[in-house]
Amino acid sequence: MMHRTEIEKLRKDIVFDATLCGQQLSFHTTWGLFSPREIDEGTRLLLQHIKVAKNMDCLDLGCGYGAIGLTLAKLANEGTTTLVDKDFVAIEYARKNATHNGIANTDILLSNGFEQVRHKSFDLVVSNIPAKVGNELMNIFFYDAHNQLTPGGQIIVVTINGLRSYIKRVFTDVFGNYSKIKQGKNYTVSMAVKNQAAKT
C-alpha cells in the first residue's frame, strides 16, 4: 500500500522538455492523460514528416496536453492553431502549456470533435488517432474535416499500422485521394488533400 506522501507526489504535475520540429518546448502533464511522461512514438513520427507554412490556420483534433498543436502554433506563427479535446483535463493542461511556453496564437477549446469549431475553416487538420476510437467516430471526424478544410487543405493523421488500410479506404472515399507519408515500425502517417484528384 502506498503512503500518503507517495500519493501526494503523484498528484504533482509531471514536467519534461522536448524538442519538436526544432522547437524547444516544456510540458506539464498529469496521470490520466495520454503519454504523460514523454512524447509518444506516433506523435514524434507525425511531426518528423509534416510541413507547415507560417500563415497556416491549423487544427489539432484530440490535442491532449498540446504536444502537436503547440508545435504547429510555433511553426505557423502568423496563423492561428486551434486545439480541441473532449477531455477537460487535457484542455486545462494544453492551456497551461501554451501559457508556460509563451504561445499566444492558439484557441484551445473543450469540444467533441468539430462541435465547437463549426464556424472555422482550416488549412491543416492533424490528429494522433487513438487505436480504439472506433470507425464510426473516425468517419464523422473525416467528413467534418473535409467540410471545414480550405480548398487544397490537408488532413494528416498518425495511426497504428493496423488501421492503415482503413485510413486509406476512408480517405479515398471522403477526399478522393490518399498518400502514405511514412510507415514506421508501429505507426503510419497518412494524408489526404481536399479537392485533389485521386492518388494510387
Residue ranges of E strands in 103-178: 106-110, 122-128, 149-160
Task: Supply the pTM of this predicted model.
Answer: 0.92
Residue 133, pLDDT above cutoff 90: no
Q: What percent of the chain has pLDDT over 70?
A: 98
Task: Tell me which amino acid residue 175 is.
Answer: F
Residue 180, pLDDT above cutoff 70: yes
Tell me, what's the pLDDT at 200? 37
Separation CA 147–CA 151 (nearest Å): 10
Mean pLDDT, rounded, for 147-155? 97
Residue 199, pLDDT above cutoff 60: no
Beta strand 81-85 with 58-61 is: parallel
Sorted by sequence, the CB contacts under 8 Å of residue 200 that are 6+ apart come out as: none
- Set of cell numbers at residue 30: 498529469
Mean pLDDT, rounded, for 188-197? 88
29-46 pLDDT, tens digit per residue, is 999 999 999 999 999 999
Separation CA 133–CA 117 (nearest Å): 20
Segment among 6-15, 47-56, 132-141 with least mean pLDDT: 6-15
Tell me, what's the pLDDT at 108? 98
8 A C-beta contact, residue 129 and residue 138: yes
Residue 62, pLDDT above cutoff 50: yes
Mean pLDDT, rounded, for 71-94? 98
Q: Does domain 4-193 have CATH number 3.40.50.150?
A: yes
Confidence of residue 48 (pLDDT cuts 50, 70, 90): very high
Residue 73, pLDDT above cutoff 50: yes
User: Domains of the chain: which residue ranges?
Assistant: 4-193
Name the H helices within the chain.
4-11, 41-48, 67-75, 88-100, 135-148, 164-175
Which has the higher per-residue pLDDT, 200 or 7?
Answer: 7
Residue ranges of E strands in 63-194: 81-85, 106-110, 122-128, 149-160, 179-183, 187-193
Tell me, what's the pLDDT at 1? 74
Q: Which residues pair with 108 in a beta bridge?
A: 83
Residue 196, pLDDT above cutoff 70: no
